[in-house]
Structure 1
Amino acid sequence: MSLTAYLDKGASLGPDAPCLTSGDRSMTYAEVQRHSRRVAGALTRSGVLPGDAVAVLSTNDPVSFAGVFGIARAGAVWCPVNPRNEAEENRELLDLFGCTALLYQRSYAPLVAAIRDRLPRLTILVCLDGEGDRGDPSLTEWLAAGPEAASPEATGPGAAPPGGLVMLVGTGGTTGRPKGVRLTDRNVETMSALTLMSYPFRGRPRYLALAPLTHAAGVLCFPVMALGGEVVVMPAPDLGDFLALVERRRITHTFLPPTLVYALLAHPDLDTTDLASLQCLWYGAAPMSAHRLEEAIRRIGPVLGQLFGQSEAPMMISTMSPAEHLRPDGSPALERFASAGRPTPLTTVAVMDPGGRLLPAGERGEIVVRGSLVMDGYHRDPQATAEAGRFGWHHTGDIGYLDDDGWLYLVDRAKDMIISGGFNVYSAEVEQALLAHPTVQDCAVIGLPDEKWGERVVAVVQPRAGTSPDPADLRAFARSRIGGVKAPKEVLVWDDLPRSKVGKVLKPDIRSRLLPGQEGAPGPGG
């Protein structure tokens, strides 16, 4: 299945139905199909071959995302590029992918100008919304240079690239040079099937994409389109606009990372907004406070749906549907709120020790995965591919365990585990304890070098609006919940925490600002 199969399936259910919407502008399924054929024809005329990598550099925008289906229809490989990356990181990714074409918005012309001369294979550049850098043609000019539409027979759903590769996704450069994840048509098909079988979908869905389409919000569009649903695209992540759109557009599905769920709970319009249309509000990409999850279900409704995955095994390693958040009597199932759900039907999940031994229920080790959800490997990096796939399983880098009933629990990223006084301290467990405090909006726990303890547990907290957390009180609160060994030895209060482009807290940034000799470490309130 090419990516165009999801669009074409939706069109078969109603070509005049709205497909991609932003503001007052909407493209029907038939219009997106026609646009995709024109983009496919233009790519082919420009010299793009099946299997070539084509990058899109854009904010959330319907025309930009519609172009993705043109890339797929030409048999090329979509490379979503996050516009909030640093220019050098994007240059490294485009070089790694061997991109021959780049479609970009005019606002990113300075970024393009900074990298294009060092990308010799990049010969086709098109500005999506006007004339671009150095006279690059606008999308309108580029499409008008040839036939209005490419032949459906030549550029139909069967024009899949060699090996079924449909996406190249950058992992980010927080641990060195970024890697490229190779996702095939089978990976996306498996993810879409798991989405449709794991969560409620009644009628034609209306999906609100607030998070970047370059990440989870983008791939969730495919199962929505398979049902003929409408994707409402938000160009900027404003929670006031988000709430207004849910009410006005009668949104049925959306996705928010936990940090934005926390911010939503603090928004003054939440309790006066009609959210009755929601069938599923997905959350994932980072652990969520069980305490705040209970609050979210009470105030937003019994529509929260968890997903756990990663770029290498997209989205659906394990899931917890809205119904599974509740007991049979309708009360919150608090006993499983700290879990990441159950392994999905088309994946096999286990827990492994460093020597490759699979561990029994209750024992902690690295979470490993098998199945058609798992990537085709890292692009042009056989060593990293072999390392991630040792012992015949994909290694997620997450530490966790399975309980006797098959529920999966994540306790930390392997790289974030702290060894203090000879004891393993899992930062996620400390964060869960602190997030239960009424003055804490968000927090991050890291280990810093310590002569006595080896590593000391340090927490940096972001206060809820209108509160002034007391570090001594927070230390005592954590100690009462998880004991003195795990409780932080030090608590700092910052106005905000450094975050990635998708809202994840950046622990490496926090660590670098707190290590001795590093400048710019803000003190309490800084």
Structure 2
Amino acid sequence: MRLSDFLDKGASIDPTAPCLTTDGETLSYEQVRSLSDRIGAGLAARGVGPGDKVAIISGNDPIAFTCVFGISRIGAVWCPINPRNEAHENRELLDLSECATVIYSNAYTELVGRIREDLPKVHTWICLDAQPDSGLGWDEFLVGGQSTQATGAPVGDLAMVVGTGGTTGKPKGVMLSNRNLETMTALTLMSYPFTKRPIYLAMAPLTHAAGVLCFPILSLGGEIVIMRSADVGLFLANVEKHRITHSFLPPTIVYMILAEAGLESTDMSSLECLWYGAAPMSPARLEEALEKIGPVMAQLFGQTEAPMMISTLAPDDHFLPDGRVAKQRLSSAGKPTPLCTVEIMDPDGKLLPRGERGEIVVRGSLVMDGYYRNSAATEEATRFGWHHTGDIGYLDEEHYLYVVDRAKDMIITGGFNVYSTEVEQALLSHPAVQDCAVIGLPDEHWGEMVSAVVQLRRGGEASSDELRAHVKARIGSVKTPKRIETWGNLPRSKVGKVLKVDIRDELMRDQS
């Protein structure tokens, strides 16, 4: 199935049903399908054909998301661009993916102005919601199509080229096929509860996990409620107002919801599945979420190169048969999904037995086709015939997967390996801590010094000495941070992840 097929599948169930809802306005399946046809025809009239790359630079917007299906209809390739990236990063991604057409919203005209002169390969710029000084306005673009429908067979099976981000160097373009996304959709539908036509709330960016999770919703004829910005209070209001059944949030946003004053008075009874992922979640906070939000928490573990569904922990798996919380499982990433083979590997390519730590490696139809125009990176990621996730972890005797840390985040202090995630979980178990980040800083004596920055809950109090004692009692002195700072807020990425690179830079400046 192509991406447009998921929309068409939903339309075949009921073309009059609500499809995309934003700011109180709803487009039916038939309206979204008709508009996607016109978008495909408009692109074809501008010379876009099968295999060509089309980028979208927009926040969460129903028309921008409809463009995804128009791109798919003509066999072209969707290149999602996060508008909150730095200009140079977006320029590199557009150049890397060889985009010739860019669709953008007027809110990012200034960004487009900074990059367009350095992108001679882009021959068509289309503004979604204004008449630009140069390029095409939306009405002019749609009128340009010679018919209301345009289709094209894709070149190969390529559906998306997704940037990995450029925090550690030049970004890479992950090639995701229709087969990859169909596998992800199938795994979603078989792994989580869908007891009725779903109503999905998209607050996280549609350029990331929140976007690809729309495809299984569409295949069931569900409704997608799109939030244009991340607002925790509005999220709770929308859950109650629209009787939301499914949503996705990164752990840091879940923490904010747990601290939100309006949570107790919000009717969350419609929720069937609140997915969390993209970063490890504190077991203590997860247990709190099970109590305050309900028995609806649902973990997913994946990455851009193997989207979303390497392993899953469904809502029921958070509990034992007698109804008690399965506390041990809360620190796991669930079990590998039926269409993925997951193993643990040492640096020499040897697969390790249960309980031993090493790199998590994956095989299956979920895994990307490679990195676009980067054979060296593709070969590195597929050593020994497995996809290398870059995550350190282990499988227990019951086949639950535990993600210990990112390989690059491991701290070596005094000759001991310290996994930053383990220290973060110990800090997050303190009732005053809302969020934290643990990194290693250069140290003449220890090699690296375990260091932490914490953000306290509203009204919470805890001294550095108290936090150190709390961590030491749980995981020992070697892993206890020697330096702990309290900040009002932690720097975060566009999808809510804590930016350890920024924290490291700030701490290094203080140390020098």
State how far apart, in whole Å, the 1-side matches of 2:325 and 2:27 are.
40
Query: Which AA in structure 2 matches 1:502?
Result: V
Q: Which residue of 1 aligns with 2:35?
A: 35
Q: Which residue of 2 aligns with 1:313?
A: 306
Q: Is the contact between residue 45 and residue 146 of structure 2 (CA under 8 Å) also seen in structure 1? A: no
Give 3-state SS (helix, strand or coil) of 1:204's partner.
coil
Matched, 1:77 2:70: no
Q: Which residue of 2 aligns with 1:140?
A: 139
Q: Is the contact between residue 347 and residue 373 of structure 1 (CA under 8 Å) also seen in structure 2? A: yes
Query: Which AA in structure 2 matches 1:131?
Result: Q
Give 3-state SS (helix, strand or coil) of 2:436's partner.
strand
Matched, 1:407 2:400: yes
State how far apart, in whole Å, the 2-side matches of 1:216 and 1:427 are.
24
State how far apart, in whole Å, the 2-side matches of 1:213 and 1:140 are.
24
Query: Which AA in structure 1 matches 2:93?
Result: L
Q: Which residue of 2 aligns with 1:459?
A: 452
State how far apart, in whole Å, the 2-side matches of 1:516 and 1:449 are.
12
Give 3-state SS (helix, strand or coil) of 1:368's partner.
strand
Q: Which residue of 1 aligns with 2:327?
A: 334
Which runs of structure 2 are paired with 1:76-155 in the superposition (5 Å)?
76-132=76-132, 134-147=133-146, 149-151=148-150, 155=151
Query: Which AA in structure 2 matches 1:378?
Result: Y
Single out whichever of 42-51 and 137-146 deviates more from structure 2. Answer: 137-146
Q: Cα deviation per residue 1:30-81 (whole Å; 9 max; x = unaligned)?
A: 1111111101111111011210000000010101101110000011000010
Q: Which residue of 2 aligns with 1:52?
A: 52
Matched, 1:16 2:16: yes
Query: Which AA in structure 1 matches 2:252?
Result: T
Q: Is the contact between residue 400 and residue 409 of structure 1 (CA under 8 Å) also seen in structure 2? A: yes
Give 3-state SS (helix, strand or coil) of 1:135's partner.
coil
State how far apart, in whole Å, the 2-side matches of 1:23 and 1:467 are.
35
- Aligned match for 1:381, one of 374, 384, 391: 374
Q: Is the contact between residue 307 and residue 316 of structure 1 (CA under 8 Å) also seen in structure 2? A: yes
Query: Which AA in structure 2 matches 1:23?
Result: D
Deviation, structure 1 residue 147: 3.6
Give 3-state SS (helix, strand or coil) of 2:370's partner.
coil
Q: Which residue of 2 aligns with 1:241?
A: 234
Which runs of structure 2 are paired with 1:79-478 in the superposition (5 Å)?
79-132=79-132, 134-147=133-146, 149-151=148-150, 155=151, 159-478=152-471
Deviation, structure 1 residue 330: 1.4
Q: Which residue of 2 aligns with 1:512?
A: 505
Q: Is the contact between residue 469 and residue 493 of structure 1 (CA under 8 Å) also seen in structure 2? A: no
TM-score, L = length of structure 1: 0.96
Q: Cα deviation per residue 1:206-235 (whole Å; 9 max; x = unaligned)?
A: 000000000000000000000000000000
Query: Which AA in structure 2 matches 1:11?
Result: A
TM-score, L = length of structure 2: 0.99
Give 3-state SS (helix, strand or coil) of 1:512's partner.
helix
Distance 1:387 1:33, change over 3 A: same
State how far apart, in whole Å, the 1-side matches of 2:135 and 2:156 are.
32
Q: Is the contact between residue 199 and residue 246 of structure 2 (CA under 8 Å) also seen in structure 1? A: yes
Deviation, structure 1 residue 338: 0.4
Deviation, structure 1 residue 313: 0.2
State how far apart, in whole Å, the 2-side matches of 1:22 and 1:439 are.
36
Q: Which residue of 2 aligns with 1:522?
A: none
Q: Cα deviation per residue 1:310-368 (whole Å; 9 max; x = unaligned)?
A: 00000000000000001111111101100000000000000000000000000000000
Query: Which AA in structure 2 matches 1:471?
Result: S
Distance 1:208 1:149, change over 3 A: same
Give 3-state SS (helix, strand or coil) of 2:156's partner.
helix
Single out whichever of 178-187 and 17-26 deviates more from structure 2. Answer: 17-26
Q: Is the contact between residue 72 and residue 160 of structure 1 (CA under 8 Å) also seen in structure 2? A: no
Unpaired runs of at least 5, structure 2? none
State how far apart, in whole Å, the 2-side matches of 1:17 and 1:518 are.
59
State how far apart, in whole Å, the 2-side matches of 1:160 and 1:137 are.
26
RMSD over aligned Cα, in angstroms? 1.0
Give 3-state SS (helix, strand or coil) of 1:271's partner.
coil
Q: Is the contact between residue 55 and residue 102 of structure 1 (CA under 8 Å) also seen in structure 2? A: yes
State how far apart, in whole Å, the 2-side matches of 1:13 and 1:144 are.
29
Work out the percentage of aligned pairs sharing the same amino acid.
62
Deviation, structure 1 residue 518: 7.4
Deviation, structure 1 residue 146: 3.3
Distance 1:160 1:275, change over 3 A: farther
State how far apart, in whole Å, the 2-side matches of 1:136 and 1:204 are.
40
Q: Is the contact between residue 211 and residue 255 of structure 1 (CA under 8 Å) also seen in structure 2? A: yes
Q: Which residue of 2 aligns with 1:483?
A: 476
Q: Is the contact between residue 341 and residue 364 of structure 2 (CA under 8 Å) also seen in structure 1? A: yes
Aligned length: 512
